[in-house]
Amino acid sequence: MNNNSTVNIKIEVPKVDSEANSDKRLIKTGIIWTAFQLIINQSFGFVVKLILIKLLMPSEFGLVGMATVFTGLVQVINDLGVGAALVQRKQHDLNESHFQTAFWTGVIWSVLLYMIMAFAVTPVAVYFYHEPTLKLLIPILSIGILCNPVNLIHKAQLTRAMNFKKIALIDNTSYIIAGSLSIILAFSGIGIWALVFNAIAPFIFAMPLYYKATKWFPKFTWDKQSFKDVFGFGVFTTGANIFTYLYNNIDYLLIGKLLGASVLGIYTFAFVITDTFRSRVMAVINNVMYPIYGKNQRDPILLKRYYLKVVQINCLVVFPIMLFFAILGGPFVVKIFGMKWQSAIVPLQYLSVSVMFQMMVSGNTALIRGLGKPGLDMKLQILKAALFLPTLAYATINYGILGASIAILFNKFLLVVIAQVTFRYFLTVKITTVELFKALYPCLLAAFISATLCLAGSYLGLNFLIAGILLLISYSITVWFMIGQELKSMLKRK
C-alpha cells in the first residue's frame, strides 16, 4: 500500500512540472512570434500611416474618422464574441460543429449587418455630419464586415493551437501588401481612397492565407446546441465590447459633429500616433495569454504571477515611446509632418500620458474573460461607459479637442482605480495596489530618470532626435540595471 502511494507521487509530480514547463514554452514561443508580428506589421503599418499623414490633408483623415465611428461599432457587433468563445472553451467541450455553426451564423449575421450599414446607417451618418462623401465612403469601408466571419474562425483555431507563427506570417503578409499598395495609390493622387484601401485590403488579402494555414473549410451544417454554447458566452463579450467601443469613440463622434472634419483629422492624428503602439503592444501579449488564462483558470496564484508579468512587460515597452511623444511631441510633429498638423501637439501630449495609465491595466480584459466571467466584464464596461461618457461629452462640447484629451487622461486614470477594486472584491485573483506598483517599479523609475534627462537635454537645446535617443538609452540602462538578469533568464528559459 505504501509502495503504491510512493509510485503515485512520483508519477504525479513530473506531470505537473511538465504541464507548467509546457505552458512556459507556449507563452515564450507565442510572445516571440506575436512580437515578431508587432515589429514587422506595426512598424511597417506605422510608417505607412506616417507617409499617408504627410501626403494627405487633415480633412481627409477627419472624413475617414467620421465613417469609422459607425463602421467600427458594427465591426464590434459583427464579432459576436465568437473568437473569444471558441478560444476560451476547454478542449473536451469543443467539437467541429461549434466551428461550423459559428461560421455560418457569422456569415448570415455579417451580410445582414452590411445591408443595414449600406441602406440605413449611411443616410443617418450623412445627415448627422452633413458630409455627402460619407454616402460612398461608409459602404466601401464596411466591406471588412463581410470578411470577418471567414477570418475569425481560422484565427480562433490557430490561437487555440498557440500557433502564433502562422498568425504572424499571415497578418504581416496581408498588411505589407495592403500598405505598399496604399502608398502607391496615395502618390498617384487618389487622396482619401488610399486611406480607405489601407483599411479594408488586409482583411481581403488575409482570407486565402488563413484557408491555406488551417486547411479548414466550411460544410453546410448547423447545430442548435453548438449555437447556444458559443453564443451564450459571446453575448456577454459582445456587450462588453460595445460599451468599450462607445466610451472609446464618443470623442470622435462629438468632435466630428461640433468642430468638423478638419479638426477631427487633427485629433485623429494625435490618437493614431499614440493608440497604434498601445493597442498593438497590448494585443501581442494578451492574445498569447488569453488561452493560457483559460487553461489555468483554477490556479489564482499562477494567474496572478502571469498577470503582473504581462502588465510589467507591456509597460516596459510602451512607456519610453509615450514619454517621447509627451516631451518631444512638438518638434516631432512640426519637423516631420509640417505646420498643418501643429494643432495636434497638445492633444498628442495628453493622450500619450493617458496611454501610460492604460498600460497599467493592460491585461485586465484578457484575464477576466480567460477566467470565464464575460458577464462581469460586460458590467465593468457598462460602469466605465457611465463614468466616461458624461465627462468626455462635457469636456468636448465646452473645450474642443483639448478638453477631450484631458478627459481621456482622467478616464484612463480611473481605469486603474476600477481595476484594483475589481481585483479586491470580484475576482479570485487578488492583486493589491502595492503588488501592482512593486511590479511596475522598474518601469516607473526608468521613466522618471529618462524623462528628467530628456527634459534637461531639450532645455540645453539638443535636437529632438538626439534627445529622444538619450531618453531611450537612459531608460534601457535603468531597466537593465534593475531587472536585466530577470529579463535575460526569461529569454533563455525553455
pLDDT value at position 15? 44
Cβ-in-10-Å burial (0-12, 13-18, 19+) of 174 comes to buried
pLDDT value at position 80? 67
Please identify which residue in the block is written with the cell numbers 466610451.
247
CA atoms in the 13 A half-sphere facing the CB of 291? 23
Please identify which residue in the block is written with the cell numbers 468632435.
255
Say if residues 471 and 321 touch (Cβ distance below 8 Å): no
- φ, ψ at 81 (rounded to 5°): 70, 15
Give me the numbers of helices (H) and strands (E) for the chain, helices first please.
18, 0
Residue spans of the chain under pLDDT 70: 1-43, 79-85, 87-93, 162, 230-237, 277, 280-297, 490-494
Q: What is the pLDDT of residues 217-231, one digit of tens each?
A: 888 888 787 777 766
Name the DSSP letter for residue 120: I
The contacts of residue 444 (CB under 8 Å, 6+ apart) are 437
Say if residues 155 and 174 touch (Cβ distance below 8 Å): no
Please identify which residue in the block is written with the cell numbers 522598474.
442
Say if residues 44 and 176 touch (Cβ distance below 8 Å): yes
Alpha-carbon distance of 246 to 243, in angstroms, equals 5
Please identify which residue in the block is written with the cell numbers 459607425.
70
Name the DSSP letter for residue 340: G
Closest CA to 468 of 276, 278, 329: 329
pLDDT value at position 13? 40
Q: Nine-digit cell at 473?
A: 538609452
Cα dihedral sign for 71, 77, 78, 79? positive
Name the DSSP letter for residue 119: I
Say if residues 135 and 126 touch (Cβ distance below 8 Å): yes
pTM for the model: 0.72
Domain layout of the chain by residue ranges? 24-492
Say if residues 186 and 51 touch (Cβ distance below 8 Å): yes
User: Rounded to 5 degrees, what angle do the CA atoms 236, 237, 238 make?
Assistant: 90
Q: Nine-digit cell at 130?
A: 452633413
pLDDT value at position 92? 61
pLDDT value at position 296? 66
In sequence order, what DSSP letters do the residues of 220-257 get, joined into one string?
S---HHHHHHHHHHHHHHHHHHHHHHHHHHHHHHHHHH
Q: What is the pLDDT of residues 389-443, one digit of tens each?
A: 899 889 988 988 899 999 999 999 999 999 999 999 988 889 999 999 999 999 9
Closest CA to 349 of 375, 328, 363, 379: 328
Q: Which amino acid is at 254?
A: L
Closest CA to 349 of 395, 418, 401: 401
